[in-house]
């Protein structure tokens, strides 16, 4: 049971290794940022907020013809208010590793120090 709880903790914290970074916050920036294909690459995970306030989350498959395309969604530049890309965070990953090692160490210490209640061994 304890190992299951530790595994659940690891899975829940795994998202802590990434962070959303703003790419562009003004429609005038979009064409110069994205048309050359240098800012967003296929496989990037993005959160796009449209002018109407709708949020689109998807993995980028391509950027061309004034539109950012995902596997099941696409958003034209003219409708974009802001774009955020999910990026790897070394600091968050290091903190996550320390927390996981601490939890695993605490569980191991608790298991090894627990003696039989009737014999005191």
81 in Cβ contact with 51 (< 8 Å)? yes
118 inside domain: no
pTM: 0.56
Distance between CA atoms of residues 38 and 33, nearest Å: 7
**Per-residue model confidence (pLDDT) at position 89:** 59
**CA nearest to 15, candidates 56, 45, 40, 50:** 45
91 inside domain: yes
**Per-residue model confidence (pLDDT) at position 85:** 85
Structural domain span for residue 96: 2-113
Domains: count for the chain: 1
120 inside domain: no
Write out the chain's pLDDT in tens, 121 residues.
556 666 666 665 555 566 666 675 555 556 555 655 567 788 888 999 999 999 999 999 988 888 889 988 999 988 988 888 887 656 666 677 777 778 877 887 777 776 556 555 5
**Per-residue model confidence (pLDDT) at position 27:** 52
CA dihedral in degrees (106, 112, 116, 120; nearest 10)? -100
**Per-residue model confidence (pLDDT) at position 41:** 81
């Amino acid at each position: 049971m304890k190992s299951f709880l530790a595994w659940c903790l690891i899975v829940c914290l795994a998202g802590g290794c990434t962070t959303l970074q703003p790419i562009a916050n003004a429609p005038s920036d979009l064409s110069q940022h994205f048309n050359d294909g240098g800012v967003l690459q296929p496989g990037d995970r993005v959160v796009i907020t449209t002018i109407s306030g709708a949020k689109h989350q998807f993995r980028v498959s391509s950027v061309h013809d004034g539109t950012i395309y995902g596997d099941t969604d696409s958003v034209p530049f003219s409708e974009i208010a802001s774009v955020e890309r999910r990026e790897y965070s070394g600091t968050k990953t290091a903190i996550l590793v320390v927390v996981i090692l601490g939890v695993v160490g605490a569980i191991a210490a608790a298991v090894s120090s627990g003696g039989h209640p009737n014999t005191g061994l």
